[in-house]
Amino acid sequence: MTQTPETSAISTPTLPAQYTPADVESRRYEAWVSDGVFTADVASDKPPFTIVIPPPNVTGSLHMGHAFEHTLMDALVRRRRMQGYEALWLPGMDHAGIATQNLVERQLGTEGKSRHDLGREAFVERVWQWKAESGGAILGQMRRLGDSVDWSRERFTMDEGLSRAVQTMFKKLFDDGLIYRANRIINWCPRCLTALSDIEVVHSDDEGELVSIRYSDEIVVATTRAETMLGDTAVAVHPDDERYKHLIGTEVELPLTGRRIPVVADEHVDPAFGTGAVKVTPAHDPNDFEIGQRHDLPSITMMDERGVITVPGPFEGLDRFEARPAVVAALREQGRIVAEKRPYVHAVGHCSRCRTTVEPRLSLQWFVNTGPLAKAAGDAVRDGRVRIDPEDMSKRYFAWVDNMHDWCISRQLWWGHRIPVWYGPDGEVRCVGPDEEPPGEGWEQDTDVLDTWFSSGLWPFSTLGWPERTPDLARFYPTSVLVTGYDILFFWVARMMMFGLYAMDGKQPFDVIALHGMVRDEHGKKMSKSFGNVVDPLDWMDRFGADATRFTLARGANPGQDVPVSEEWCQGSRNFCNKLWNATRFALMNGAHVDGPLPTELSTTDRWILSRLEHVIDEADELFERFEFAKICDVLYHFAWDDVCDWYVELSKPVLAAGGPAAEATRRVLGHVLDQLLRLLHPVIPFVTDELWIALHGTGTVARAAWPQLDKALVDDAAEAEIEALQRVVTEIRRFRSDQGLRPAQRVAARLDGLGVVAPHEWLIRSLARLDDAGAEFAASATLSVAGGVRVGLDTRGAIDVAAERARLEKDRAAAEKEAAQCRAKLGNEAFVGKAPEHVVTKIKERLATAEADLARIGAALEALSA
């Protein structure tokens, strides 16, 4: 029945009276690492299970999103390891091009220097020095959280092996015609002076101004970026718009410039939006660029890389935000302003690193032709090679990959993988692979580096040794599951899918994509410094422990849904860990053990808890396979707290006190139940479960113990029904005692009639409900009925102030009647029921049901008092 643990050199602790996480967590973690618990053996014959960690930025610190995601990954890996898989959780970090370069540049600024003072080579050396001294703080924080990663395989996106992989991939794509260089519209940060990927742009609703400008007697256009009109090269209208058909092919004079621009017909224009006429600025708007391409329009760059106006005239040299009101003022003076709407709230893109407003800009950049790569990424999900969980997220995935734009991969930075393209003196272009020598004198390498997402897109296979056909790559690829947020499904997940399928001959990078939501505060509000509701997981770990932090996060994790958390819930999780500690300590003090098989002669109580355990094992297994972490935690929490601690331990106390064979059987069952429970809980709360499990076993570690196996022979429906009946009797008596104001420890004489199936357990009922036998002078001053025909008479004479208790109950009844009346009135109001949201109506119904139940309970208590 029990499983023999593998032994190790980990020492056996004793259990203090109170659980102090700080005394346990660091010691347990270092023991796991030194004992090689997390190190995957490439030569083993166990089935592989692989997760590669979404690489945190080298500049980063553990935030609540990391703690949440890492908790889920760790739970999956620890369970699979216990199930007998060769589990590899591969850690690493991303070089975070923009963030890291900005950080080191700020450091240089404090010294009165810039990167240009150092030069490229010396600056890159300075960044490597910063990484060695200060980078990667998050790795130590991952240890605090309990991440069971294989530190021997730690990778960095700029290490030698991954750099080789990046150069190989670029060369392969280049040779296959899937990488090209072109002038196209990209996201540009005037502060960081680099192109940005879509995921590096954060949109927010900002207040601006919508200005309507008259270009001619018949054409009015509206814009929030009035300064960009200086770069207009056309006005576009829909070809079927009757208002403008006669103007198509004519020209209008562009205000303030004297230039004449054509009126063109384009189906992109929505005739129902605004005036139906739009200004076309091909060098500064992605949609306008496409219109310009279709109509062979010139592209005028009207501001430089820093957002300064370059068009000769009165606005030249002004910053874009200085030029905007100046242009509007000049147009107003000419009578060209038809309308001004302010404030006008609209979505504005900002650089995720410095929060500068991003500028769409025509620029010569390197791009990946994503067409065939994106199609393969979509096909892999459609044909079932990759499963997205929850399934309804697949629609969002297809909406992205089926309509993907070509990807700008060049960045105007010095920190990162430099583009391996060289330009010759006569205009030659050569892409150099990792095993090729760069061309000789007169050739210059491209100064740009690759988008950070290019290297992280290779992560599932580059970290395993690709482009070499390493044993790790053969053993652990494809990876088993990717755990990540739905918010980067499009950007990171899609890139890994494209590159993995392309580089690995159609083999998917992961079998399952398990998507989770974002961590929010207890009110469901997004965490933000500006809202003042950001929670630091390190603070929670300091105060409540890593296990409590992990359990709080996992208990809110429903697939694809956002996760609300609060400090109060973390306190509750800490109490849960303490409850486990106290129960195990009690069990050990009373001789619970795991030696030998389970006894064949067992009490109904023992058979009940073993049967309940089997149901929980079965349910936990099913939920783990569906990534239902919240439900897993809920099932284990209630089994541990309710079934084990509140009932089985309490039912065991009189048995243990009585001694004899029944007590010895209970000691063995109690040891078995705790052993299995600690194994089940270990993936989510690893520290306290390991400390307790070692105390129970005297050696080993639960991290290497076998995962509980379902034993249907232990399922006992009759025992469960019998103990459930006992629980109903005890619960009703306890509720009655509480309603009557009896102190918990106060014993009351009672007579129990109609016990039926629970008759053999009368002594346990009396023990748990604090009831004495009915003596010669017994007189029932109160009676109550329990479902199943059980009647309980209690002699409360002298134990209750009847008048005071009646007054209290009457007051409670009045409150319950008022609550019920209010709820009935609302539910009887058809206007309210018809208009109120469904969840509001449901809440009112629940309040009514509670009030009616209270009235029934109070009425029974008053009747008992009268008796």
- Cβ atoms within 10 Å, residue 303: 25
Instruction: Give the predicted TM-score (pTM) of the model.
Output: 0.86
Query: What is the spatial order of strands in the sheet that 479-485 belongs to?
Result: 387-389, 510-516, 479-485
- The predicted structure's pLDDT at residue 12: 42
Residue showing tokens 């639960």: 702
Instruction: Give the pLDDT of residue 4.
Output: 39
* Structure-token pair, residue 802: 């009847």
Question: Dihedral of CA 311/312/313/319: which sign?
Answer: positive
Q: Where are the domains of the chain?
A: 194-360, 566-711, 725-866
Beta 260-265 vs 48-52: how paired, if at all?
Answer: unpaired
- Three-state DSSP at 767 gives helix
Mean pLDDT of the chain: 92
- CA nearest neighbour of 478 among 492, 494, 490, 464: 464
d(CA 599, CA 663): 11
DSSP 247: G
Q: What is the radius of gyration, based on Cα positions, of the chain? A: 35
Alpha-carbon distance of 754 to 771, in angstroms, equals 16
Give the whole-angstrom CA distance, residue 225 versus residue 324.
Answer: 7
Cα dihedral value 798, 803, 809, 810, nearest 10:
170
CATH of span 194-360: 3.90.740.10
Q: Which of 390, 399, 374, 626 is nearest to 486 (CA)?
A: 390
Contact yes or no for 274/266 (Cβ under 8 A) = no
Question: pLDDT, tens digit, for every residue of 708-741?
Answer: 999 999 999 999 999 999 999 999 999 888 887 7
Three-class DSSP category at 235: strand
User: Phi/psi zone of residue 552: left (φ > 0), alpha (ψ -120 to 50 degrees), beta?
Assistant: alpha
Q: How far is CA 98 from the centre of its chain?
A: 24
Q: Crossing angle of helices 137-145/21-34, nearest 10°?
A: 110
Q: Is 766 helix (H, G, I), strand (E, B) or coil?
A: helix
Alpha-helical segments (H) within 50-135:
64-82, 97-110, 115-118, 120-134
**Strand, coil or helix: 685:** coil
Q: Three-class SS of residue 486?
A: helix
CA 652 distance to own-chain centroid: 40
- Residues sharing a CB contact under 8 Å with residue 164, sequence separation 6 or more, in sequence order: 434, 467
Q: How many CA atoms lie within 13 A of 83 on its CB side?
A: 18
What distance in Å separates the CA atoms of residue 316 and residue 859, rounded to the nearest whole number?
85
Q: Please give the structure tokens belonging to residue 185.
A: 């519209």
- β-bridge mates for residue 483, sequence order: 514
Query: Do you know the residue count of the chain?
Result: 867
Q: Report the alpha-carbon distance of residue 650 to residue 646 in Å, rounded.
A: 6
566-711 is classed in which CATH architecture?
Answer: Orthogonal Bundle (1.10)
Residue listed under structure tokens 């032709």: 369
Q: Looking at residue 529, what is its pLDDT?
A: 66
122 contacts: CB under 8 Å, gap ≥ 6 = none
- Three-state DSSP class for 85? coil
Pairing of strands 277-280, 234-237: antiparallel
Please identify every stretch of the chain with a pLDDT value under 70, giving residue numbers as ranges: 1-14, 528-530, 800-801, 865, 867
Q: Residue 328 in contact with residue 189, Cβ under 8 Å? A: no
d(CA 275, CA 654) in angstroms, rounded, equals 85
Q: Which of 311, 331, 309 is nearest to 233 (CA)?
A: 311
579 marked among binding-site residues = no
Residue 800: the pLDDT is 67
By CB neighbour count within 10 A (0-12 exposed, 13-18 middle, 19+ buried), where does 122 fall?
exposed
**Contact at 8 Å (CB) between 515 and 523?**
no
Can you name the residues that pair with 181 across neighbouring β-strands? 366
3-state secondary structure of 416: coil
H or E stretch including 622?
Answer: helix 604-625
For residues 854 and 839, give the distance between their C-alpha atoms in angstroms, rounded to a whole number. 23
Tell me the two tokens of residue 271. 């005739």
In sign, the C-alpha dihedral spanning 705, 707, 712, 717 is positive
Q: What is the pLDDT of residue 5?
A: 40
Per-residue pLDDT tens digits for 314-357: 999 999 999 999 999 999 999 999 999 989 999 999 998 889 99
Selection from 559, 557, 558, 554 nearest residue 573 by Cα: 554
Cα–Cα dist 483/440, whole Å: 46
